[in-house]
Amino acid sequence: MAEANGLPRYSVAELNQAIGTLLERGFAPRFLIDATISRPQLKKGHLWLTLVDGEASISAVIWASQLAKLSHQPSEGDGVVVVGKLNFWAARATLSVQVLDLRPSLSTVLRQFERTRQTLEPEGLFAPERKRPLPAFPVAIALLTSVPSSALADMLRTAAERWPSTRLYQVAIPVQGRVEAEICRILTEVMGRADMLAIEAIVLARGGGSREDLAVFDGEDLARLLAASPVPVVSGLGHEDDTTIADLVADYRAATPTAAIVALLPDRLSMLQRLQQSRSQLRQALSFNMQAKRQQLAGLRAQLEQIRPSRLLALQRQGLQQRRQLLEALSPQRLLQRGFAMVRSPAGQLLRSIKQIGCGDPFLVELADGRLRAQVTDVTPAQIEPQP
């Protein structure tokens, strides 16, 4: 570089090199860009594209070595978030963004979610009537999630606290990037062995993350595979506010991985309390039943006592004795013993009135110890005093 008339003078190469040095010193080595993909072209393994936002555009490139590592392959019109750095070619003074990483933006993820939903919904894959009930006391369940992960640790701890008798099969799956095919392969293997391993439910889980990270669970192939599962599927993906296609297809959607375990496994402490209450109620019911049976037995015993032959015979004897005493009390012989006498005609007819006999007629007088023969010498009617 030389100076002329106080102005710096450059060759073209020097000028371009100075611009490059200025950009290198004055710009961040890495940065994020929110953009939309335009005109992607694959040349010699490298992907050339334009990043636009409606007001401006800039060229970008993804080198072949980096392209193979990306979890998302961009297409025309995709909204993306780019991790990049500036590339300045001094020979031609051209500027572009070198893409170091790239992931779909939320708008792209939601657009893909909506496309898949519109494809599957008419087939009834989201219909409530196809949802199967969860097993009450599962013998074994398969946990499909990242291994190791905080989500898996939380699920294992919750399962041990709630219902430790259930066997847990930990199945490692990738949960981020272009891994839908791998998840489907592993899930197919688990489904094929479910009957042999007595697996009664499958949990598909992933811990927290952005909605963009959960895009892998919006795939159509995964959704169809989940719908064909021979056992109920419980999804616990991301946060409570996140909804994926897998959530819509699953037989039960839990807000979190831990909530999925809570939905599947009973709480042993609650079950113990219920069993204790049931035992108390059973004991009380048995006590009431025994008391009722005792009362019924006492009533039957009293009835048997009433109809016991010896008692009936005693009652009969008592009745006869009372009748005999009554007859004895009313017997004429008792009257005779008290000094009364009975007057009869010679034919033995009991005389009740003086009109039945006259003077000179014979009659018999019956006393307690014998009879007397007599003759009427006089008849005097009784004088009846008038009633006042």
Q: Give me the pLDDT at residue 354, please.
A: 85
pLDDT digits (tens, 9 = 90+) for 330-358: 777 777 777 788 888 888 888 888 888 88
Q: For residue 81, which of 53, 103, 112, 54 has the smallest C-alpha distance? A: 103
User: Do 182 and 174 touch, CB atoms closer than 8 A?
Assistant: yes
Digit-coded pLDDT (tens) for 162-175 = 999 999 999 999 98
Q: Which amino acid is at 277?
A: Q
Does the global pTM surpass 0.85?
Answer: no
Question: What pLDDT shows up at residue 6?
Answer: 72
Question: What's the pLDDT at 387?
Answer: 61
Is residue 388 pLDDT above 60, yes or no? no
Write down the pLDDT at residue 246: 96
Range from 222-226, 265-269, 377-381 carrying the lowest mean pLDDT:
377-381
What average pLDDT does range 276-288 have in this prediction? 91
Which domains, ranges and CATH numbers included, belong to the chain? 2-104 (2.40.50.140), 110-269 (3.40.50.261), 332-375 (no CATH)
Confidence of residue 1 (pLDDT cuts 50, 70, 90): low
Q: Would you say 54 and 63 are in contact if contact means Cβ atoms under 8 Å apart?
A: no
Number of H helices, E strands in the chain: 11, 15
Q: Quick check: 214 and 238 in contact, CB under 8 A?
A: yes
Give the mean model confidence (pLDDT) for residues 117-125: 94
Mean predicted confidence (pLDDT) in 56-80:
86
Cα–Cα distance, 211 to 243 (Å, whole number): 9
Residues 229, 202 contacting (CB under 8 angstroms): yes
Distance, CA of 230 to CA of 184 (rounded, Å): 15
Q: How far apart are CA 340 and CA 318, in angstroms?
A: 31
Q: Where are the beta strands (DSSP E) in the chain?
A: 2-4, 7-9, 31-43, 46-52, 57-62, 79-89, 94-104, 140-145, 167-172, 199-206, 233-237, 252-254, 342-344, 362-367, 370-375
pLDDT of residue 313: 85
Instruction: Please state, in angstroms and rounded to a whole number, the distance separating the CA atoms of residues 252 and 265.
Output: 13
Query: What tens digit of pLDDT does each residue of 20-63 get?
Result: 888 878 788 888 888 888 899 999 999 999 998 877 889 999 99
pLDDT above 70: percentage of residues in the chain: 97
